[in-house]
């Protein structure tokens, strides 16, 4: 299992001013950094690639769709913009040598929905992501569907729903990205949801139920890691703790979740490494 961390642990927006985070992750002895693609205007692929080469760590990318890029919107022009944006994210991912791109890429993040998703909205999402997945195949990129909680999306809250959309899309490079923070709200069993993802699991966000220090809350880490151990999971697993409220997506960090960001990361990484060793995933 590759252990890494999301850049939002330290910054609220990625740019060349945050390139030193790549070196920081390397010094922590982690395997990869997850770089957000929310603001492609500040994404400098050449600079990132050079820093990654010098640090020797791996990388993956992620994003969420906003209102102007919602691929489940009834306006075909907005859906087209969403496809274009996701295609550019795929290209940015390949530019820095990454193979995994994931997130809330199937509908608007925090959409003010007034009804359960219709079959038409499922079809719009699948149709758009089918185009993106085929584009991604040309770049050697896999795309991951990340279920999030009911307050952040009306479309995919569980692994079972992610598998449904994956099947509707029907492309081999579409995978699953789980997140323990959201699983704690929506899943009945960490173990069963993880096993359901199975060989299609490509990424996990390791978060406590309050997004604080992993191992100090209510997440069923034993169930999760038992499943990962049985699966011999060797994919990406990253801590995702937000340093602050960001201007480009909602993070809802309204209080101090640990004595400091460094304490959260140091103790969280130590706990996850203990679980890795216990279940022979190190």
Q: Domain ranges for the chain, please list them.
A: 2-278
In tens, the pLDDT along 139-189 reads 999 999 999 999 999 999 999 999 999 999 999 999 999 999 999 999 999
User: In this structure, what token pair is assigned to residue 115?
Assistant: 């009804």
Q: In the 8-state DSSP scheme, what is residue 281?
A: -
Q: Which tokens in the block code for residue 22?
A: 């790549």
Radius of gyration from C-alpha coordinates of the chain: 18
What CATH class is the domain 2-278?
alpha beta
pLDDT of residue 11 exceeding 90, the answer is no
Question: What are the helix (H) ranges across 187-260?
Answer: 190-197, 221-231
What pLDDT, on a 0 to 100 scale, did the predictor assign at position 255?
79
pLDDT digits (tens, 9 = 90+) for 38-63: 999 999 999 999 999 999 999 999 99
Give the residue from 1, 9, 25 showing the smallest Cα distance to 207.
9
Handedness of CA 69, 70, 71, 77 (dihedral sign): negative
pLDDT above 70 coverage of the chain, percent: 96
pLDDT at 43: 96
pLDDT tens by residue, 220-263: 999 999 999 999 999 999 998 755 445 544 566 777 777 877 88
């Amino acid at each position: 299992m590759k252990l890494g961390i999301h850049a939002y642990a330290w910054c609220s927006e990625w740019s060349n001013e945050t390139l030193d985070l790549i070196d920081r992750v390397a010094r922590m002895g982690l395997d990869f950094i997850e770089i957000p693609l929310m603001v492609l205007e500040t994404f400098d692929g050449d600079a990132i690639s050079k820093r990654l080469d010098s640090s020797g760590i791996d990388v993956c990318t992620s994003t969420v769709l906003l209102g102007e890029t919602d691929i489940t919107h009834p306006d075909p022009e907005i859906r087209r913009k969403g496809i274009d944006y996701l295609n550019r994210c795929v290209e940015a991912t390949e530019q820095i040598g990454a193979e995994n791109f994931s997130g809330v890429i199937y509908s608007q993040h925090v959409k003010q929905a007034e009804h359960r998703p219709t079959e038409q909205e499922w079809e719009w999402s699948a149709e758009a992501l089918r185009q993106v997945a085929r584009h991604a195949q040309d770049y050697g990129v896999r795309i991951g569907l990340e279920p999030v909680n009911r307050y952040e999306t009306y479309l995919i809250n569980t692994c079972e729903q992610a598998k449904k959309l994956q099947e509707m899309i029907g492309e081999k490079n579409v995978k699953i990205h789980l997140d323990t923070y959201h699983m704690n709200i929506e899943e009945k069993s960490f173990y069963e949801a993880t096993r359901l993802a199975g060989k299609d699991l490509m990424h996990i966000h390791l978060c406590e139920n309050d997004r604080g220090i992993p191992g100090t809350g209510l997440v069923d880490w034993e169930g999760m890691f038992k499943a990962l151990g049985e699966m011999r999971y060797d994919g990406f697993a990253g801590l995702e703790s937000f340093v602050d409220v960001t201007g480009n997506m909602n993070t809802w960090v309204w209080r101090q979740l640990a004595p400091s960001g460094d304490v959260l990361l140091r103790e969280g990484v130590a706990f996850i490494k203990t679980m890795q060793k216990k279940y022979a995933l190190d």
